[in-house]
Every structure is written in C-alpha cells, then in structure tokens.
Amino acid sequence: MIRTLAISIITLLTAFVYSCEKVPAEESPATTLPDSHQEEQDKNDEDPVDSGVNSKTLVVYYSFTGNCKSIVKSVKDNIEADVLEIQPADEGLDYAADNYAIGSSLIAAIREKPDDAASYPAIKPVNRNAADYDTIIIVTPLWWSNMAAIMQSYLFQEGSKMKGKKVGLIVSSYSSGISSVVADARRLIPGGEFHEDNLWVNNSNRSQQDALVKEWAAGFQNNTDTMPNTIKITVSGKSLPVVLDKNKAAEALVAALSEAPITYEADDYGGFEKVGALGRSLPANDTQITTQAGDVILYSGNQIVLFYGTNSWSYTRIGKMEYSTLDELKSFLKAGQGIINVTLSL
Ligand SMILES: Cc1cc2nc3c(=O)[nH]c(=O)nc-3n(C[C@H](O)[C@H](O)[C@H](O)COP(=O)(O)O)c2cc1C
C-alpha cells in the first residue's frame, strides 16, 4: 500500500517536471545546470596557453556547464595530449535560459543551412593548429540531439585540416542518444579516419566516467599506436610470424597477448588443419571463405585453426603464417601427427 502510494507520487512528480519542459522528453536537456562558472574559470587558468606543439594528439573540447571539461581531465589521465578549449566570441550567453532558447535557435540555424558560414556562431581565435597533429579527439556536449553549436563552428572552420587524421569522438548528453552528433562530426570532418567506438557519457553513467574514459582510451590507443601487425606462433621450440588482418578479432587477440602468451592444444582435423580451443572468445565476423595453407582462422568464436590445406566454411580470418614451402609448414605444424602444443605470443 505504502509502496503503491510512493510510486504514484513519484510518477506524478515526474510528469509535472516534464510538463514544465518545452522540449520533447527524449531530447530533454539537463534541467539543472551546475553552478560552476567560477570553478570553470579557475580550471581554465590551468590550461596550456602557449601555441607550441608538445604532443601528437590534440584534444579539442567545448563545455558550457563543465561536464566535457571534466571528461577532458579523465582523457588527459590516460592519453598524452595537447588541449584546445573552444570558446564562443559572445561571452556570458546563457544557452539554457528560457527553456534553452538561445541554444535551440543556434542549432535550428545550422540545421537549416549547414553549408552557410553565417549559420555558425562566432568563436574566439584558437591557439592550436589541427594540421600539426596526427590524432584529434573531439569532446563535445549534445544540444538538441546535435553537436553543440560552438563546437560545430570550430569544426566548420578547421575540420578540413583533419583529413586523413585519426579522429576520436566523446559526447556528453543528459540522456539523448548521440547518432546525430556522430553524423555532424562526419559531415564537418570530411576525410577524417574515425575511430569506430564513440564514447557517450550521460547522466546514467557519469559516475563511472573515469573508468569509461580509461577503457575507451585503451581501445583508441590500441587501434592507433600500439597495434602490432604480427604475432608469433611457436610449436616445439620453433616459431613462425603471423601477419595479422585488421579486424576486431586480431585486435582482441593482440590485447590478450599483451597480457601474457597463450598456449593451447591443437589436433589434426580433416587432413587440412590443426584446430584447438583458445580458452577464450574473440569477436567473430564470420564470412564464407576458402582458406589457404598458412591461414590462421577463428572458428566458432573461440577456436583457432591453423591451415596446412584448404577448406570452405564460414570463418573469421585473423592472419597468415609466413612460411617458405608447404613442406616446411607441414613439418612445423606436425601435420597428421596428432596433438601439439601451440603458443601464441607478441
Ligand atoms: C542548449 C542545450 C541543449 C541541450 N539539449 C539536450 C538534449 O537535447 N538532450 C540531452 O540529453 N541533453 C541536452 N542538453 C544537456 C547537455 O547535453 C548535457 O548537460 C551535457 O553534459 C553538457 O555538457 P557541458 O557541461 O560540457 O556543457 C542540452 C544542453 C544545452 C545547454
């Protein structure tokens, strides 16, 4: 009875709060903005102001209420980077006042004419040149489902300098999904090499922000700086290099091997392969393929197949062993001789 009454009161209160909002529920911005303008000014004073390039990576951010600024601190704990804060030329505007009226009209103008420079609010001059960096990480709030107008202004101006560069995207919203922000980023950074995992921080996961950023940063860096393109296979003290394909399975295998080598048992099957359980699953993306001798294949998500013959099946290729002759490969894999111990390492 008391529980039913409590639920009814909460439901009524929630309905009341949303009825006071002008925006649709799925786009409702944070109803309370942190009172952090002085705190922001203090944090701004810590930001680098010189225009020298110290790193290969540039983190570019805009933050109205401090959430993205806080995300940038987490990023800096994990990635060596220079930082550029984008600031509107018009100081002191309250984009959230009057049910987000200013923010709403800025976004509406860009949506109406995205190719017209006049649609974008003016920003202060920037003291970093994106062209000097290999990697750009954009940290931006979401406004009305789109990228915050101030960040869009920066990218409209500078995005073309990011062609061919590795680009990461981190978006902070109250609750709205970020697909339109991703679309904005791709429109404004033509030719950017986008990291496929975007990080979305929102009010439900903000308390785990540090851990989320840490995990995202590890994936982002694995994918860029540290992903080796070979691993090693060792059988009975002899080793062959494996040239890796570029896919999630290979990435996950490298990540596992960076912690420790993996040894597993493999046995002959079908007169064309040595197959064995890896002891863990890797992300499969199976397609029908005809394998060749030397192929290193993920089968069923958790088994590794080393081919000394061919077979047609739905597999995910991880890479290919480098060998000189088929006889050498067969001897290395002890083809037809039963169980062997295989060690994979970096
Ligand atoms: C003008 C404006 C519009 C916003 N629109 C949305 C929205 O449509 N959906 C949403 O979930 N959050 C919305 N928000 C909330 C922000 O995305 C969210 O609070 C974000 O974390 C702010 O980042 P910041 O503190 O770095 O400025 C809006 C905020 C503003 C100021």
Q: How does DSSP assign 268-299, residue by residue?
A: EETTTEEEEE-SS------EEEE--TTEEEEE
Q: What is the pLDDT of residue 24?
A: 35
CA–CA distance from 258 to each of 242, 252, 346 (Å)? 15, 10, 7
Å from CA of 135 to ligand 1 middle: 26
* Lowest-confidence region among 165-174, 228-237, 325-334: 228-237
Q: How many CA atoms lie within 13 A of 334 on its CB side?
A: 16
Give per-residue pLDDT as tens, 248-304. 899 889 878 877 899 999 999 999 999 999 999 999 999 999 999 999 999 999 999
- 0.75 surpassed by pTM: no
Q: What is the DSSP letter of 339?
A: -
Q: What is the DSSP letter of 128?
A: S
Pocket test for ligand 1, best of 36, 144, 178, 181 (most atoms within 8 A of CB): 144
Is the shortest distance between the CB of 63 and ligand 1 below 6 Å? yes
Is the shortest distance between the CB of 65 and ligand 1 below 6 Å? yes
Is the shortest distance between the CB of 57 and ligand 1 below 6 Å? no
Q: What is the pLDDT of residue 230?
A: 85
Q: What is the pLDDT of residue 164?
A: 86
Token readout for 126 is: 């920037």
Residues 171/140, Cβ–Cβ less than 8 Å: yes
Give per-residue pLDDT as tens, 82-104. 999 999 999 999 999 999 999 99
Average pLDDT over every residue of 32-61: 56
* Lowest-confidence region among 76-80, 87-91, 155-159, 251-255: 251-255
Residue nearest to atom 13 of ligand 1 (CA): 29
Residue nearest to atom 20 of ligand 1 (CA): 173
Q: What is the pLDDT of residue 179?
A: 87
CA nearest 258: which of 285, 225, 292? 225
Q: How many CB atoms lie within 10 A of CB 225?
A: 13
Residues 289/317, Cβ–Cβ less than 8 Å: yes
Q: What is the pLDDT of residue 39?
A: 39
For residue 54, pLDDT over 80 is answered with no
Q: How many CB atoms lie within 10 A of CB 260?
A: 9
Average pLDDT over every residue of 34-58: 53
Output the average pLDDT for the chain.
85
Q: What is the pLDDT of residue 254?
A: 85
Å from CA of 28 to ligand 1 middle: 8
Give per-residue pLDDT as tens, 170-193. 999 999 999 899 999 989 998 888
Banded model confidence at residue 51, pLDDT cuts 50, 70, 90: low
- Domains within the chain, CATH numbers bracketed: 19-225 (3.40.50.360), 230-345 (2.40.100.20)
- Residue with the bigger pLDDT between 25 and 199: it is 199
Task: Give me the residues paired with residue 64 across strands.
Answer: none
Provide φ and ψ at 217, rounded to 5°: -65, -35
Q: What is the pLDDT of residue 174?
A: 96
Which atom, in ligand 1's list, is nearest to the CA of 65? 25
Q: What is the pLDDT of residue 228?
A: 66
Q: What is the pLDDT of residue 197?
A: 87
Å from CA of 44 to ligand 1 middle: 20
Residues 143/103, Cβ–Cβ less than 8 Å: yes
Q: What is the pLDDT of residue 331?
A: 97
